[in-house]
Amino acid sequence: MKMKAIAPAPNLRGDYASAAPDYTLPQLHAAIPTRGHATWRELHRRQMALFPRHAASAYREGVARLDCAQGIPNLARASDKLRETGWTLVAVPGLIPEDAFFAHLSARRFPVTNWIRRPEEMDYLEEPDIFHDFLGHVPLLTNRHFADFLQGYGAVGEFAQRHGAVRMLARLYWHMVEFGLIEEGGEVRAYGAGILSSAKETVHATSAAVPRLRFAPDRVLRTEYRIDDLQPLYFVIEDYGELFDLLDTLPEALLRARDAEPIPAGAILPGDTRL
């Protein structure tokens, strides 16, 4: 048998060569360098200071549950804390192909990038790292409605791929999973991972000066997005059940959105009512 000359470098940025066919890797938590944990603690501290005023209550309950201030979390141990909703965290080298991503979600496995940004990237990073994937996404996996929605989202992926509607399905992920807001007792709070893993976006997204629209599936599925700047527009739900309830009619809605004119990022249409 031919042996690999070098053991896989732990926590190497984007180490796709040592990934399995489903793009998973061993996390090798014990091999994470001290400076990685220090970067985590600093990012964590900054975001925690913003959450009481800006983050949704279900998200904050999840963060408390995960108890991860000390350093980069051990994914196996964190998975134990998700037992009630049945999700498992798996390490991946970074962004993975859509079909592999959808397959993980539909099996209630959440892919978490196994490297952390460099100190000079504290405020902005183009691709997801473990801070975004874990602190942004994992807390809401403790919420039953959201956890069930995300599995169902993954399960619709195959349909979307067969029907040329992945772009529309990705818009739902972007606007609602990455940048979603929720109304709680008359206040608008953030639950989206792209918001809550970024200090700037957390403050921006919850500012009443930025346009907000009530969540409406067809509107969201037609709305294009920008990946290189703060979002110009956010969609607001009242309950995570709204996302789950959409799943039944999502395939038809994807086809309608595919065949409709896209709406440019940030555009407000004559029929829109700002919240």
Contact positions vs Fe ion (CB under 5 A): 193
Q: Is 52 helix (H, G, I), strand (E, B) or coil?
A: helix
Q: Least CB distance from residue 104 to ligand HBI, whole Å?
A: 8
One of 44, 54, 104, 137 is an active-site residue; which one? 137
* b/e code 220-252 from CB counts within 10 Å (16+ = b): bbbbebeeeebbebbbebeebebbbebbeebee
210 binds ligand HBI (CB under 6 A): no
The site string for ligand HBI over 109-148 (x = CB under 6 A, - otherwise) reads --x----------------x--------------------
One of 104, 132, 175, 204 is an active-site residue; which one? 132
96 binds ligand HBI (CB under 6 A): yes
CB 204 within 8 Å of CB 188: no
Q: Could you tell me which of 205, 209, 207, 175 has the C-alpha nearest to residue 190?
A: 205
What six digits make up the tokens of 45? Answer: 């501290």
- What is the distance between the alpha carbons of residues 153 and 170, in angstroms, rounded to a whole number? 10
Does 178 qualify as catalytic in the annotation? yes
Q: Least CB distance from residue 185 to ligand HBI, whole Å?
A: 30
Q: Least CB distance from residue 139 to ligand HBI, whole Å?
A: 16
Q: Least CB distance from residue 127 to ligand HBI, whole Å?
A: 9
Q: Could you tell me which of 106, 65, 72 has the C-alpha nearest to residue 91?
A: 72
What six digits make up the tokens of 153? Answer: 């989202």
Does 132 qualify as catalytic in the annotation? yes
159 binds ligand HBI (CB under 6 A): no
Binding site for ligand HBI (CB under 6 A): 92, 95-96, 98, 101, 111, 128, 169-170, 173
Active site residues: 132, 137, 178, 197
